[in-house]
A and B are shown apart, each in its own frame.
Chain A
Amino acid sequence: MNRLRPLFITIALLFFAGWLGFVAYSYLQLGRLAPQVESDGSLPPLQSGSAIRGAKVYAAEGCMTCHSQQVRQTSVTPSDIDRNWGKRPSVARDYLRDQVAFLGTSRIGPDLSNVGVRFTDPIWYYRHLYEPTAVVPGSNMPAYRYLFKMQKIQGQPSEEAIVLTGPHAPKEGYEVVPTEEAKDLVAYLLSRKQDYTLPEVPPVPEK
C-alpha cells in the first residue's frame, strides 16, 4: 500500500485541480460579488416578494428547459443583440438578486433575460400563458391553463378576469382568473430586465 500512496496522491491532486479552478474559485470570487451602489439605489435593482415567489414557479414548471436567460458576448455572436433580446451582454452580477441563475442551455423558445423590457403589460403574459398560440401564432409553447381558475361569474365579473378569445375561452357566464402562482410568475417575468449599465460591461453601440 505504501508504494501506491504517491500515486493516489497524484490522482487526487489532478482531480482537485479542476475543482479548485472552477468550483472553489466561483464560490470565493463570483460568490462574493456585491451590488453596484448608485446615488439612487443599488444595481441590479431589488426584486419584489411576488417576483421572488415567481422564480419558484419558474423553476417548478421547468421554464428553463426551453428558455435561456443570458445575452451572449458580441465576440461570439451578435445575433442575441440583433434579435433585440438585450442591449448588452449579460454578466455575472446581473444574477445577483436571483436565488437560482436560470441560465438555460437551450432555446426552444426565445431568451427571457430582458422579456420585462419587451413586454410590459401583465395581461399580455396572462393571455400568452393561458393559450400561447392565440397570442403568438405558430408558437410551440405548451399552454399553462392550470395556472388559471375558470369560475362562474357571480354578480359583478372579477376585475382580474382575462379577456380571451379562441377555443379555450370561457363559456357564457364564466370567467378566467389567474391563480396566485400565475401572478407571481408574471411578476417574475416582468422583473427580467438587464436595462441598466454596470461598469464591467459597456453598452453595445447601436448600429
Chain B
Amino acid sequence: MRHESSLSQVQAATNFSEPAPLHATTRAEIDASLRFPVLLFFRTALFWLLLGSILCTITSLKLVVPCFLDGINFLSYGRLLPVALDALLYGWAIPAGLGISLWLIARLCGRSLRCTKILVAATLFWNIGVFLGSLGILCGYGTSVPWLEYPNWASIPLFIAFLLMGVWVVLLFLARQPRSIYITQWYLLLGLCAFPWLYATSNMLLTWGSVQASAQGPIIAWYSANIFGLFLIPLALGIIYYLIPKITGAAIYSYYLAVLGFFSLLLLAGWSGMTLFLGGPIPVWMVSASVVATMLMMIPVAAVILNYAKMIQGQAAALKESPALRFIAFGIIAYFVATLLNLAYAIPTWNGILHFTHYSNGVVLLTLLGFVSMVLFAGMYYIAPRLFGFSWLCACSIRCHFWFAVVGLSLMVTSMTLGGLIEGLALDDAAITFVNVLSFAAPWRWLNVIAWMLLLLSYVSFVRLFGKMLFRATHPDQKASACSFNPLASVS
C-alpha cells in the first residue's frame, strides 16, 4: 500500500495474510476486551434487521394488495417503506459493519480496547437515534429525502454517536503495533472517515434546509450513491480482504491489483450516482460525468473480484467447510451482478426505459442485502465464535440462513429487474394507460412478496441461531436444545 516502500518491502508484504501473527495471549486479550461491545453491536443490528425485513415484507404486500392494513396513518405505505429501508441501513448494516470493523482493526493493529463504557454508551445512543427517527417518520415527521427520511433532529444523536463509535477505530489505528498497514485497514478507514462527512453535509443541506430546492437533486443523488459507494462497499471489501486469507490460508493474489482497486474505487465512486436523475432537472454535465464514472466502475470491481477469485480458486473444501466463505462467495457474485445492472442503468436510452421502475430499487437492494449484508453475515460467522468462545451450534440453521437468502435474493433481483424492464417498456409506450401498466407489473410484484418472505425466513433462522449462542454463553451449564428443524439437510 505504501507506494514509497522499497520493492523488497512490497515483496515481503505480498506474502502475509495479516501484518504479523499475533501472540495467542494478545488475541485472547483483544477478544476479551471486545466481547461485550461487539456482541452488543451485533444484537442491536439483528433486531433492526428483523424489524426492517418484516416491514419490507408488509410493504411489498401492500403494494399488490393496497387495502391490506389500509386507512391507519402510521401503517400507510408511504410511512412504512422509509422506516423499513432506514432500519436496514442505519439499524442493521451500519452497526453490524462497525462492530466487525472494530474487531478487525483491533486484531490487525494488535491492540485491545480500553474504556469500552463510552463505546457501549455510543451504541445505545445510536440505537436511540434510529428508534426516534423511525418513530418520527411513523408519526408524520418524515422528510421524504431519500435515505435521509428521519426528522432532522434525529440526525444529531446519530451523528454524535457515530463519531463516538468511529473514533475508537481511528484511535486503535493510530496506536497500532505492527507499523505496516494491511489493505483491509485502508478500506475500513476510508469508509469510517467518509460516513461522517457524507452524513453531515447531506443532512445540513437537505433536511436542515439550508439549500434551496433547485439544488437538492444532485445532493440527493450524491448521498444515495455514496452511502454505498464510499461507505458500505469499502467496509465490505475490506472485510473480504481480511476473511478470505484467514479462512483459506491463501496470500493475496496481487498486491498491485489491490492498490489499483482501492484508488480507482475512491476516484470513481464519488463521481457516480447522478444517473439517478438522468434526464431530470439537474445539469446535464453532471449526468454525463456519472455515466462515464459508472462505466469505468468496472475497473475497481474487476480488480477486486479478480483478486478474490484467485484467492478462492481451488478452495472447494474450504467453501464447503466454512459458512463465512460461502457467504463471501455469494456476496462477490452479487457485487458483480449489481455492477453490471448499474452499468446497464447508466446507458441513457436504456435508462429512459428502466428509470422509475422497480429496477433501480432492485439494484440498491441487491447491493445492500445481496452484497453488503452477506459479507456482514460472513464477518459475524467468523467473529462471533471467537467472542463466545465456542463454535456455531447448529449447522442446519446456517444452511437455512444461506439457502433461503440465496433463493430469496435471486428471486428478488429477478422480479425487480426483469419486472422493472417489462414495467418500463409498458410505461414507455404512451398508448398503454397507466392503470394497465400496473397489470404488467403486478405478477412481478407478487414474486417480490414471496422473495421477501424467503428472506425473512433466512434472517429468522440466523437470529434464532444467534439467540441460541447468546443463551449458551450466559448459561454455560445448560445444554442447548438440539436442532430439530432440518428441511435442507440433504443440501450442503
B438 at the interface (CB under 8 A from A): yes
Q: Bin the interface of chain B by size.
A: 35 or more
Pick from B30-38, B64-72, B87-95, B403-411 the stretch touching chain A: B64-72
A59 to chain B minimum Cβ distance, whole angstroms, is 4
Give Cα A70 to B220, complex, Å: 14
- Selected contact of A79 from candidates B149, B206, B217, B427, CB within 8 Å: B427
Q: What A residues does B72 contact at CB under 8 A?
A: 146
- Selected contact of B219 from candidates A26, A61, A62, CB within 8 Å: A26
A149 at the interface (CB under 8 A from B): no
B165 at the interface (CB under 8 A from A): no
B467 at the interface (CB under 8 A from A): no
In the complex, are the beta carbons of B64 and A65 less than 8 A apart?
no
In the complex, are the beta carbons of B280 and A103 less than 8 A apart?
yes
B206 to chain A minimum Cβ distance, whole angstroms, is 8
Pick from B113-121, B136-144, B156-164, B312-320 the stretch touching chain A: B136-144
Pick from B76-84, B365-373, B474-482 the stretch touching chain A: B76-84
- Selected contact of A22 from candidates B62, B63, B218, B280, CB within 8 Å: B218
B430 to chain A minimum Cβ distance, whole angstroms, is 3
B115 to chain A minimum Cβ distance, whole angstroms, is 23
B134 to chain A minimum Cβ distance, whole angstroms, is 13
Q: Is the interface of B mostly helix, strand, loop or mixed?
A: helix
Q: Bin the interface of chain A by size.
A: 35 or more
In the complex, are the beta carbons of B76 and A94 less than 8 A apart?
no
In the complex, are the beta carbons of A142 and B212 less than 8 A apart?
no
A8-43: which residues lie under 8 A (CB-CB) from chain B? 11, 14-15, 17-19, 21-23, 25-27, 29-31, 33
Q: Which of A15, A63, A145 has the most CB of B within 10 A?
A: A15
Pick from B17-25, B125-133, B282-290 the stretch touching chain A: B282-290
In the complex, are the beta carbons of A99 and B438 less than 8 A apart?
no
B73 to chain A minimum Cβ distance, whole angstroms, is 4
**How many cross-chain pairs have Cβ atoms below 8 Å apart between A and B?**
237
Pick from B103-111, B235-243, B295-303, B353-361 the stretch touching chain A: B353-361
Q: Given contacts A21-B289, A106-B357, are A100 and B144 in contact (CB under 8 A)?
A: yes
In the complex, are the beta carbons of A30 and B81 less than 8 A apart?
no
In the complex, are the beta carbons of B219 and A23 less than 8 A apart?
yes
In the complex, are the beta carbons of B66 and A96 less than 8 A apart?
no
B351 at the interface (CB under 8 A from A): yes
B256 at the interface (CB under 8 A from A): no
Give Cα A26 to B71, complex, Å: 39
**What 0/1 pattern do residues 67 to 95 of A give for CB contact below 8 A with B?**
01010110111010011000001111111
- Selected contact of A31 from candidates B145, B214, B226, B271, CB within 8 Å: B214
- Selected contact of B79 from candidates A22, A31, A61, A70, CB within 8 Å: A61
A152 at the interface (CB under 8 A from B): no
Give Cα A55 to B170, complex, Å: 42
Give Cα A195 to B302, complex, Å: 47
In the complex, are the beta carbons of A139 and B143 less than 8 A apart?
no
- Selected contact of A23 from candidates B201, B209, B283, B434, CB within 8 Å: B201
Sorted from nearest, which 10 A-B pairs have the closest CB atoms? A18-B270, A62-B78, A76-B279, A77-B352, A82-B430, A72-B279, A30-B215, A107-B356, A31-B215, A60-B140
A-B contact pairs, 30 of them (CB 8 A): A17-B267, A17-B271, A18-B226, A18-B271, A19-B222, A22-B270, A23-B219, A26-B218, A62-B142, A65-B82, A72-B279, A76-B351, A92-B282, A95-B213, A101-B216, A101-B220, A103-B280, A104-B356, A106-B357, A138-B439, A139-B66, A139-B435, A139-B438, A140-B66, A142-B77, A143-B66, A143-B70, A143-B71, A144-B71, A144-B76
B residues with CB within 8 A of A: 1-4, 62-64, 66-67, 70-73, 76-79, 81-82, 137, 140-146, 149, 181, 190, 194, 197, 201-202, 205-206, 209, 211-222, 226, 230, 263, 266-267, 269-271, 273-274, 276-283, 286, 289, 348-349, 351-353, 355-358, 360-361, 427-430, 434-435, 438-439
